[in-house]
Structure 1
Amino acid sequence: MGSLCYAELGTALPLSGGEYSHIKRGLGSPLAFIFMWTALFNKPASNAARALLFPEYAIQPFYGVCPAPEVLKKCLALAVLWFLGILNGRSVKIAAWVQTVFTVLKMMALSVIAIGGIVLLIKGRKENLARFENAFSSDIPDASQIAEAFFQGLYAYGGWWSLNYMAEEMKNPSRNIPLTVMTAVPAVTVFYLLVNISYLTVLTPKEVVSSVAVAVTWADRVIPTVAWIIPLSVTVSIFGALNSSMFILGRLSYAGSQSGHLPVLISMLNIHYSTPAPAMGFSTIIATVFIIPSDLIALTNYFGFSVWLMIGLTCASLIVLRYREPNLHRPYKVFLPVEFGMVAISFFLVLAPIVWSPQVQYIYAFLFMLGSLLLYLPFVHFKLHFNFVDKITCYLQLLLEVSPADCKYE
């Protein structure tokens, strides 16, 4: 439902910046600034979570049942994060090529696990089938648990909200965005469903929860002689996902700077590679800070809570644009009840944990988002400016070898 709503926005308004640009057009500059302020922290938090997953699969096989050292995992996570940040800051073509190669490798790895599970089910061993006999016999979760489960489950399906960030650089977005959504989302759903079924043919739910690297545990039991293939493949998968996320986050910072919501330096392009190198560096630095705590569940829950509020606002902007700009050219139009349903679901996912399981971090998250207005009012609305900022910008331009882009967003 969310991907279909975003497909309409991406085809009608193919602008760099994705959700930020759509909220600005539909709901106004203040809400767009709140979104950008929030996204500049929750999206790097997501990148940090992916970077921390990378060493879990890359290092853990060398330590067997023993946990790998935390310092080593953090160092490798930082190295991968900065490698991809520099890569995306230097060449869009190389980053796109890396993404294509690693996506193919990821699908091959998922195919191995999915086919392995199908083979085990066909053999019909009692121990493999027994885990499915009472698969839905647990206690019914409350609304808060359902929402938090969605945060963590939908985290794996998050590519659809990233597609619009590259709409401006896409060939024929009117055709390619809906086509991508309608083929990729079902394909990912089928693959992940088969993979999880495969896990449950070998592991108990308790083992799945307790395992740091589920695919590694699965491989050790199903294909022990070549078990190293699976952690290597999952590592490749995480690397590719992190690469695409880094690419997208740079576009958000770039669009925000073009609109005057961030320092002008961030919207500048490298004079040698024509890439938004300052924007990539800015987002990579923020993600680096989030790697320090290294609490994956906390990062994922915070990311899920804030991102679904932003998704709700984005879908609300779609509804507003339907009525405010009925003559806007829309190559693709989603069924209107889907838009209202998506807004309702998004706000349920935001409000359910607060109402049924209130925690202080949710209050902090709201205060953090509203705190962005303390910057918006003086520096954006009233255009407060300090001369020393221009001197710093000029110095950094020379140091980083960047210059303003040819055009600006209005």
Structure 2
Amino acid sequence: MERWQNINNLVVVGLGITGLSVVQHVTKRYPHVTVRVMDSRDNPPGKDELPSNVALHSGSFNLEWLLNADLVVCNPGIALATPEITAAIQANVPVVGDIELFAWSNSKPVIAITGSNGKSTVTDLTGVLARAAGLNVGVGGNIGVPALDLLDIDADLYVLELSSFQLETTSSLRTRVSAFLNLSEDHMDRYQGMEDYAQAKRRIFTHAEHLLVNRDEPETYPNTDAIQGRLHQGKLHTFGSDANDFGMQISEHETGLLDQGELIVQAQQLKLIGKHNWSNALVACALLKLAGIDYRNSLTALKDYSGLSHRCQVVAQRDSVTWVNDSKATNVASTLAALSGLQLEGKLYLLVGGVGKGADFSDLKPALSSLNVALCCFGKDGQAFLDLHSSAKLYDSMDEVIDLVTPQLKAGDMVMLSPACASFDQFANFMARGDHFTTLAEHYSQNVNE
């Protein structure tokens, strides 16, 4: 409460789900504070849910409001380089985000996760495993529930996915353990380069008791003296594809997930598909251990976890044939991740195609060459995949693919939708595409070998 004593005039920049959560949090807990909202959109989502005593300025940013504020809470989707926000910062008006407000109010342990890829799966799975261990868990942040709404849950632990945008305006978040999973080029319209982007993500380590980084990617390591000093205090931990620390033991036919050399689980016992997802499972176990939670009480839940919807999600299994929905793979990098480390007893029927957006698909060729694969191409740019593998065939639609390949399926085979393309030639979005695949999989899997 002490932080709020001198805050009487608060401005929320950007409405939507996050902005509404800020308004509700402040008006509920600090009735002495006058809250106003601004949004550059003429008709911002959520405006009809604003309390009657909260003023809204829409269609632009109100500089006068910003300069007269005691505190500005900025939506992560709005860059700090926006001229009106920059002017407020230069006038010494404090500018924070919703995660900073969460940090001011929270007294429970926090596990925080950032990275360019996989952070949603790691966040969700960590929550699943913590619940299986008997804890009341609040999961949210950049995924699902806004962080401030989680404070209404009687939780033993919070698990937060945090984007670089959220971390830019966060300085007080204390965590039991923070993880930086990986770094790949993204959001270059907002950052001055990869190092600038990485530095925003490294803010997750500022007040972390334990740090978890990817030893295969040096960019994920802390780079300030104050934080690097924790390396010598046993507070910095790593995960990776070798057998050290939290790691993997990879052989021709199986992969073991390891904790300090001890087997956690064989990857082949998991429903999760692909080396990147096995790494996600390893990280989730590491996060629990570093937070003082015995993940071995949650191994059944780990084995049963089939992933987030549309992300290498096992949607059907029968007669040793596995059906995988990876519709979220709308670019080449995502499909490559799905294929990495894939170990099959039979053939992979890989469904690719859609709207390619001018992408170069040639990077898929080496990965496909090492697999027993039937490349099933469909959609507007399906023909662009035909030169990638000798098995490639062009189909009119996903329905035609499934209709024609199902009679060929044998035990050990896998049917995977990982299209490396956008969906809007034949579907409303990647979710609709994935849902349609799931419906087909559930129907046709019942007919395999009958």
TM-score range, shorter chain: under 0.3
Q: Which has the larger radius of gyration?
A: 2
Which protein has the bigger helix share? 1
Q: Which one has a larger percent strand, Structure 1 or Structure 2? A: 2
Give the TM-score taking structure 2 as reference length. Answer: 0.23
Structure with the greater relative contact order (CA < 8 A, sep ≥ 6): 1 or 2? 1
TM-score computed with the length of structure 1 as normaliser: 0.25
